[in-house]
Amino acid sequence: MFHIVLYEPEIPANTGNISRLSVAVGATLHLVGRLGFSLEDKYLKRAGLDYWPEVRLERHETLADYEATQEANRLFCFSSHATRSYTQVKYQPGDAFLFGCESRGLPLEVIERHAGRALRIPMMNDKMRCLNLSSAVAIVVYEALRQVGALDEELRTRVGG
């Protein structure tokens, strides 16, 4: 349904949590560029629990490589430097959500290149630079699922109505 794209993630536990989220919501997880850990890392595996065999994982050497394979999908970039809120968008199945690494975020040139689709998650405390990566991904993905009605459909299926 959606694509979660992590650009040069650094913390294995965050990527492990996001991999588990991707299984829960049927998203494809894309890891782009240099990783700050091995895909065999014990913390990555621990955070992903026993869901790793179910993760739809795609690996891309560069962001350009990723973008070349995803031309049909809309790509939204998330950054604390963006001015438009993630809630001001009408998401569609197939959309891709690009998040930067934990310590540096996305490169400014990437945000500028996708300026029309650069979004932020508002925070009430001006002293905060950013949210935890796995928290930010979950916030955006669940808003997108809510908008396309996927959560309502899942609930109807579970309760039989």
| CATH number (domain holding residue 104) | 3.40.1280.10
Whether 154 has a pLDDT exceeding 80, the answer reads no
Which range (34-43, 64-73, 131-140, 149-158) has the least confidence? 149-158
Please list, in sequence order, all residues whose beta carbon lies within 8 angstroms of the beta carbon of residue 82, skipping any fewer than 6 positions away.
Answer: 111, 118, 119, 120
**pLDDT more than 70, % of the chain:** 88
The per-residue pLDDT for 43 is 64
Q: Taking the model in full, what pTM does it have?
A: 0.90
The model's confidence at residue 134, banded by pLDDT at 50, 70 and 90, is very high
Whether 90 has a pLDDT exceeding 80, the answer reads yes
Nearest Cα neighbor of 29 from 41, 42, 44, 129 is 44
Q: Which domain holds residue 116?
A: 3-159
Residue 20 and residue 86: Cα distance in Å, rounded?
22
Residues in the chain: 161
Per the CB < 8 A criterion, the answer to whether 45 and 19 are in contact is no
Work out the number of other CB atoms within 10 angstroms of the CB of residue 61.
10
User: If you average pLDDT over residues 125-148, what whole number do you get?
Assistant: 90
Whether 48 has a pLDDT exceeding 60, the answer reads no
Which range (2-11, 26-35, 51-60, 99-108) has the least confidence? 51-60
The per-residue pLDDT for 150 is 86
When divided into structural domains, the chain yields a total of 1
Whether 161 has a pLDDT exceeding 70, the answer reads no
The model's confidence at residue 40, banded by pLDDT at 50, 70 and 90, is confident
Whether 104 has a pLDDT exceeding 80, the answer reads yes
Residue 104 and residue 130: Cα distance in Å, rounded?
10
The per-residue pLDDT for 145 is 95
Whether 157 has a pLDDT exceeding 70, the answer reads no
Whether 158 has a pLDDT exceeding 60, the answer reads no
